[in-house]
Amino acid sequence: MRILVTGGAGFIGSHLIDRLMGQGHDVICLDNFYTGHKRNILKWMDHPYFELIRHDITEPIRLEVDQIYHLACPASPVHYQYNPVKTIKTNVMGTLNMLGLAKRVKARFLLASTSEVYGDPDVHPQPEEYRGNVNTIGIRSCYDEGKRVAETLAFDYHRQNNVDIRVARIFNTYGPRMLENDGRVVSNFIVQTLQNKPLTVYGDGLQTRSFCFVSDLVEGLMRLMNGSHLGPVNLGNPDEYTILELAQTIQGMINPDVDVKFEPLPQDDPRRRQPDITRAKAWLDWQPTIPLNEGLQLTIEDFRSRLGETSRPVSS
């Protein structure tokens, strides 16, 4: 099959491309390198079945493909809030263009949506039926509301134009190739601990998240794409941790002597988040297999090799 991956030079997209190339597909990676990097896809650059197109999805493009994994969108709060209007354009105009493309070539279209559509949830854990608690005018809204419109567009293209859609609601995902400076909690804590800097815990650290290792997530995306259910389907690891527990786990794995520093909680930061994956289990026969400790170890090794000498813990 010929498969388009938008955002393919990013964190999740590049892991997905590794799997698709491994299965022998013809893969086109579309990316504007806003938060993605060529180094993530470097190993495929000379492969005859791989094609890289530098393109911003807010502009139309004509391609011939069988499937579209639509992942292009900055995912970390630091990056999506840096240029919020651009984030909305990417989610709305970009998704519209990719759905227009899917309609024209009759490709199956998978949207990488997010647990952020649930906002600061007052239902816990979050099932797909829950409609969310999102602030329309806050600093996270460009992303949350952008993804909500993207979901709406996908379902309207399905109803109006028969586009074959799939919608995944992805929960916090981590693993090798996360950016050192992307501001997400797992990468921040690992980089800080490796560099003997205090861990920045926002608020009291009692807010929770559930962390899914990237290989598990990619498996879920591929099962959803190739199965018969449209979704939306939650994809995430239901093991829930407070941010303080995460800090302590990472300290314990790298350097227990590093300090914790409390900083103000960002506006609209969701207090808790945990996926209800009943639907993913039933529809996709999918559930995560990599426990947090194992996934963190692989992620720490990747950061260590990228950060080099500066990352060696001080021996006492």
| d(C-alpha 296, C-alpha 95), whole Å | 32
| 202: annotated active-site residue | no
Binding of ligand UDP by 61 (CB under 6 A): yes
- Give residues with Cβ within 8 angstroms of 183, minimum separation 6: 76, 77, 78, 79
Residue 38 C-beta: closest distance to ligand UDP, Å: 24
Binding at 65: pick from ligand UDP, ligand NAD, none (beta carbon under 5-8 Å per type): none
Site for ligand NAD in 28-87 (CB under 6 A): 31-36, 56-58, 71-75
Other C-beta atoms within 10 Å of 297: how many? 12
| d(C-alpha 27, C-alpha 188), whole Å | 32
**Angular region, 7: left φ>0, alpha ψ -120 to 50, beta rest:** left
Q: Which stretch binds ligand UDP (CB under 6 A): 145-153, 230-238, 265-273, 304-312?
A: 265-273
Binding of ligand UDP by 209 (CB under 6 A): yes
Binding of ligand UDP by 108 (CB under 6 A): no
Binding of ligand NAD by 216 (CB under 6 A): no
The mark string for 178-197 relative to ligand UDP (x by CB under 6 A, - otherwise) is ------xx--x---------
Strands 240-242 and 26-31: unpaired
Binding at 207: pick from ligand NAD, ligand UDP, none (beta carbon under 5-8 Å per type): ligand UDP
The closest of 140, 174, 147 to 73, measured between CA atoms, is: 147
Phi, psi of 105, rounded to the nearest 5 degrees: -100, 5
By the 10 Å C-beta count (0-12 exposed, 13-18 middle, 19+ buried), 151 is classed as buried
- Give residues with Cβ within 8 angstroms of 72, minimum separation 6: 6, 7, 10, 13, 30, 31, 32, 57, 90, 94
Place of tokens 């093991």: 239
Binding at 311: pick from ligand NAD, ligand UDP, none (beta carbon under 5-8 Å per type): none
Query: Which residue of this chain has its Cβ atom nearest to ligand UDP in the complex?
Result: 100
Q: In 229-276, where do the E strands start and end?
A: 233-235, 240-242, 260-263
| Residue from 69, 80, 118, 143 carrying the catalytic annotation | 143
| Binding test (CB under 6 A) with ligand UDP, winner from 77, 94, 175, 232 | 77
| d(C-alpha 88, C-alpha 143), whole Å | 7
| Binding test (CB under 6 A) with ligand UDP, winner from 255, 266, 298, 307 | 266
Please, which residue, 56 or 223, has the CB nearer to ligand UDP? 56
Other C-beta atoms within 10 Å of 213: how many? 22
What is the 3-state composition of the chain as percent helix, strand, coil, each rounded to the nearest 5? 40, 20, 40
Binding of ligand UDP by 238 (CB under 6 A): no
Q: Which stretch binds ligand UDP (CB under 6 A): 7-15, 20-28, 100-108, 147-155?
A: 100-108
Please, which residue, 72 or 99, has the CB nearer to ligand NAD? 72
Residue 98 C-beta: closest distance to ligand NAD, Å: 10
Binding at 101: pick from ligand NAD, ligand UDP, none (beta carbon under 5-8 Å per type): ligand UDP
Point out the residues that are catalytic. Answer: 143
Q: Which residues lie near ligand NAD (CB under 6 A)?
A: 7, 9-13, 31-36, 56-58, 71-75, 90, 94, 112, 114, 170, 172-173
